[in-house]
Structure 1
Amino acid sequence: MQIKGHTVRGSVLDEETRCTHYHKEIDRIAIKFYCCQTYYPCFQCHEEHGCGQASVWPQEQFDEKAILCGACGNELTVNEYLQCQSKCPHCQAAFNPGCSLHREFYFG
């Protein structure tokens, strides 16, 4: 699915990157997986539709753009996302702070 000029793969439900696994109002980011450099709404979507070789972003590459805000289409670096206080620094849309519970699936 094309979302704000970016391809997001997986079980995507809407234009703000919500998927069949995470679809609350605040579930509005997609994460570019390091292994395949492709955006997915969540680790489960990547497991179901991804490359089959999941790997996390290494800390030395946390300055790479890897998070897509589903509200405005702004791309954030991993560092920006980890420091953003659960909202987009560009449009102020709220992000799900629970994503931090799954950090080990995305970031080293």
Structure 2
Amino acid sequence: MLIKGQVVEACEMDEETRCAHYHKEIDRIAIKFYCCDTYFPCYECHAEKGCGHPDVWPKKKFNEKAILCGACGHELTVEEYLDCKSECPKCTAAFNPGCNLHQHLYFQT
């Protein structure tokens, strides 16, 4: 599905990247998976429709764009996302702070 000009893969998703697994108002990001260079709303969507070989972003690549704001389409680097305090730096839309619990599934810690 095309979200703000970016292809995002999921079984089910709304126009701000909320998926069947995470669909609260503040669930509005997609993560570009390092292993397949493809955006997914969450690790569960990647497990269902992804490459089958999950791999996390290495720290040396944290300066690359890997997060999509589902509200405005702004792409954040991993570093920007980790420092953004759960808010899009461009449009100030709130992101789910609970995503921090899953960082180890996306980024080298």
Measured against the shorter chain, the TM-score band is over 0.9
Q: CA deviation at 1:83?
A: 0.2
Percent identity, aligned pairs only, is: 69
The corresponding residue for 1:73 is 73
* Residue aligned with 1:23, SS: coil
Say if 1:12 and 1:41, in contact at 8 Å, map to a contact too. no
The runs of at least 4 consecutive aligned structure 1 residues that moved more than 3 Å come to none
Match status 1:27 vs 2:17:
no
Match status 1:13 vs 2:13:
yes
The separation in 2 between residues aligned to 1:54 and 1:10, in whole angstroms, is 15
Match status 1:44 vs 2:44:
yes
Q: Which runs of 5+ in 2 are unaligned?
A: none
Moved more, 5-14 or 86-95: 5-14
AA aligned to 1:91 is C
The corresponding residue for 2:97 is 97
TM-score normalised per structure 2: 0.98
Aligned length: 108
| TM-align CA RMSD | 0.5
Say if 1:31 and 1:40, in contact at 8 Å, map to a contact too. yes
AA aligned to 1:22 is Y
AA aligned to 2:55 is S
